[in-house]
Amino acid sequence: MIEKFYSIGKNILILFLIIYIGSLIAWVFNPIRVAFQTLFVPLILAGLLFYLLRPFVNLLNKKMPRGISILMIYLLFLGIIILSLALVGPVLQSQVMGLANNIPQIVEGIQEWFLEIDLFNRISQLQQEEFLDIDGYIDSAMETLNNWGRGVLTGMGSFIGSVASAVFTLILLPIVLFYVLKDSKKFQDIFVKMFQQNQQSEVREVLKDVDRALSSYIQGQGLVCLFVGILCLIAFLIIGLDYALLLAIIAGLTNIIPFFGPWIGSVPAVIVALFLSPLTALFTVLAIIIIQQIESNLISPQIIGKKLNLHPLVIIFLILIAGQLVGLIGMIFVVPLFASVRVLFTHGRKIWKIKKNPIKKFPGYEE
């Protein structure tokens, strides 16, 4: 027992020593950090698109070679984007510009509505008590805008860097995605062959379980977001809500974040509805609640099912922690990441057996 605690303590000290030495020579790892930051976004996007496009590639692969299948999917995907921009692009652009131009009128309309229900007077009383300094917020916002205007020139270099990074991502993404779609099984075989022959079936089983968890979640969430966006668009058009297409797209995209996403996406729609009338806002809230009930009780169970088998409270805690540590990206990816890690722990005994066996020499790429 003493030897066990001694071994654990020694490993912890070694870990802290490595971290300390790494902090002293951080410049050595700077190229690695830059490379990771450069490749992170293309790899993440390639992973998402891999699971979304793989079913279509596998379907075409039954009739033609895999490389040709991927190119056909690329052309089809590009055609859908061009057609969508041609049909929906002008409408979406006009709605974005209209909403941006009407934000002051929307704020003014909401304030007038507050006045009608005598809530704005209460806010004024609180302002007199210096509990809520609205004028101070306005002055602070104006000062922030002025500072931003003065900092535009100084931030031009950062802006150019961001544009260059976006262009690099657009160029690299289809290349990485092509080879991931084409050679994913070969990459899996290379990894499996790193282990002993009698352990390879267990490693392959773990990889299949992780792949199943990720694919069911990513593909399912993509379909759920699409359904929610379509239902919101229909509801907003029936209600007569301005900027219905834009607000429906926001509601559909934010639905990718479990539990919190639907309510985040509903805020812009409710604000725009308040500008029209309190009754329109009430109808909008009711429509969103009905759509979320349909999504939670009918769509998600049928599409995603309970394959992840995570308690809702666990998901809520995961999203809160990830949002605090990493931000929006963490809130989006924490659930599938946790599901994958849990699969690894589920196979803990097998992984431990694999770890105890020596790893064979890397076999290299085999055609």
Asked if residue 108 has pLDDT above 50, the reply is yes
Please indicate whether residue 194 or residue 175 has the higher confidence score (pLDDT).
175
Please indicate whether residue 286 or residue 301 has the higher confidence score (pLDDT).
286
Q: What is the dihedral of CA 134, 136, 138, 139, to 10 degrees?
A: 160
Asked if residue 157 has pLDDT above 60, the reply is no
Q: How far is CA 252 from CA 44, 247, 249, in A?
A: 20, 9, 5
* The predicted structure's pLDDT at residue 244: 87
Q: Which residue has the tokens 């509801």?
A: 235
* The predicted structure's pLDDT at residue 233: 92
Of 21-35, 135-149, 206-220, 338-352, where does mean pLDDT reach its minimum? 135-149
Say if residue 303 is exposed, middle or buried (CB neighbours under 10 Å; 0-12, 13-18, 19+). Answer: middle
* The predicted structure's pLDDT at residue 254: 87
Q: Which two tokens stand for residue 114?
A: 């507050």
Widest CA span of the chain, in angstroms?
77
Please indicate whether residue 126 or residue 24 has the higher confidence score (pLDDT).
24
Asked if residue 205 has pLDDT above 60, the reply is yes
Band of residue 118 on the pLDDT scale cut at 50, 70, 90? low
- Mean pLDDT (the chain) is 74
Give dist(CA 299, CA 220) in Å, integer.
Answer: 9
CB 54 within 8 A of CB 177: no
Give dist(CA 158, CA 172) in Å, integer.
Answer: 21
Give dist(CA 200, CA 205) in Å, integer.
Answer: 9
Of 119-133, 163-177, 332-346, where does mean pLDDT reach its minimum? 119-133
Helices 66-116 and 260-276, packing angle to 10 deg: 50
Asked if residue 353 has pLDDT above 90, the reply is no
Give dist(CA 25, CA 110) in Å, integer.
Answer: 56
**Average pLDDT for 251-270:** 84
Asked if residue 231 has pLDDT above 90, the reply is yes
**Structure pTM?**
0.65
Asked if residue 308 has pLDDT above 90, the reply is no
Give dist(CA 48, CA 27) in Å, integer.
Answer: 32
| Closest C-alpha among 311, 330, 339 to residue 216 | 339
CA end-to-end span of the chain: 49
Asked if residue 109 has pLDDT above 90, the reply is no
Give the long-range contacts of residues 200-209, CB within 8 A, separation 24 or more.
202/347, 202/350, 202/353, 202/354, 203/354, 205/347, 205/350, 206/343, 206/344, 206/347, 206/350, 206/351, 209/343, 209/346, 209/347
* The predicted structure's pLDDT at residue 115: 61
